[in-house]
Structure 1
Amino acid sequence: MEDISVITAVNHPLRRRIFDYLLLYGTSQVTTISRSLESQVGSISHHLRMLERAGVVERAEDPRGDRRTSWWRLARRSMTWSAEDFADSPADALLAREAERQGIRMQMERLQRWRRHRGDPAYAEYEAFNTETTTWASAAEIKDLSDRLRQTLSEWQTSIDDTDGQPRVPVFFFSHIFPTEP
Structure 2
Amino acid sequence: MDENSQQPDDVSDRVEQRHAEDRVLDTGALRALAHPLRVRIYDMLSQYGPQTASSLAEKLGESSGSTSYHLRALAKHDLIREIDDRGTGRERWWERPVGGISFANADAMKTPAGRAATQIVMTEFFRNRNEQLLRFVNDGIQSAGTQWETGTLISTATARLTPQQSKELSTKIMALIDDAVDTYRNQTGEDVRPVTIRADVFPLPDLEGKP
Fold equivalence (TM over 0.5): yes
In the alignment, what sits opposite 2:153? 128
One-letter identity of the residue aligned with 1:53:
K
User: Which structure has the larger Rg over C-alpha atoms?
Assistant: 2
Distance 1:11 1:94 in 2: 9
**1:112 pairs with 2:112:** no
* 50 and 141 in structure 1: CA distance in 2 versus 1, 3 angstrom threshold: farther
Partner of 1:149: 173
Q: Which of 50, 59, 71 in structure 2 is aligned with 1:48?
A: 71
Aligned to 2:50: 27
How do residues 1-182 of structure 1 correspond to structure 2 at under 5 angstroms?
1-10=24-33, 12-63=35-86, 66-82=88-104, 86-126=108-148, 127-138=152-163, 140-160=164-184, 162-163=187-188, 165-180=189-204, 181=206
Cα distance, 1:61 vs structure 2: 2.2
Which runs of 5 or more residues in structure 2 are unaligned?
Answer: 1-23
User: 1:84/1:55 Cα in 2 relative to 1: closer, same or farther (>3 Å)?
Assistant: same
Structure 1 residue matching 2:117: 3-state secondary structure: helix
How many correspondences in the alignment?
A: 179
Q: Distance in 1 between matches of 2:96 and 2:73?
A: 13
Of stretches 107-116 and 7-16 in structure 1, the one that deviates more from structure 2 is: 7-16
Unaligned runs of 5+ in 1: none
In structure 2, relative to structure 1, the CA distance for the partners of 1:87 and 1:59 (3 Å cut) is closer
Instruction: Give the percent of matched residue pairs that are identical in Structure 1 and Structure 2.
Output: 24
Residue type at the aligned position of 2:128: M
Alpha-carbon distance between aligned partners in 2 of 1:170 and 1:110, rounded to the nearest angstrom: 12
Q: After TM superposition, give the deviation of residue 50 of structure 1 in Å.
A: 1.6
Structure with higher RCO (Cα < 8 A, 6+ apart): 2
Q: Secondary structure at the match of 1:120?
A: helix
Contact 2:47 2:196 in 1 (8 A): no
CA distance in 2, matches of 1:143, 1:3: 25
User: Is the 1:4–1:92 contact (alpha carbons within 8 Å) kept by the matching residues of 2?
Assistant: yes
In the alignment, the residues of structure 2 paired with residue 40 and residue 122 of structure 1 have an alpha-carbon distance, to the nearest angstrom, of 29
For 1:149 and 1:8, locate their aligned partners in 2 and report how far apart those are by CA, in whole Å: 30
CA change 1:13–1:151 in 2 (3 A) is farther
Deviation at 1:152, TM superposition (A): 1.9
What TM-score, normalized to structure 2? 0.69
* TM-score for the superposition, normalised by structure 1: 0.79
Structure 1 distance, partners of 2:176, 2:166, is 15
**Does the 8 Å CA contact 2:57/2:67 hold for their aligned counterparts?**
yes
Q: Which amino acid aligns with 1:69?
A: E
Amino acid corresponding to residue 132 of structure 1 in structure 2: A
SS at match of 1:72: strand
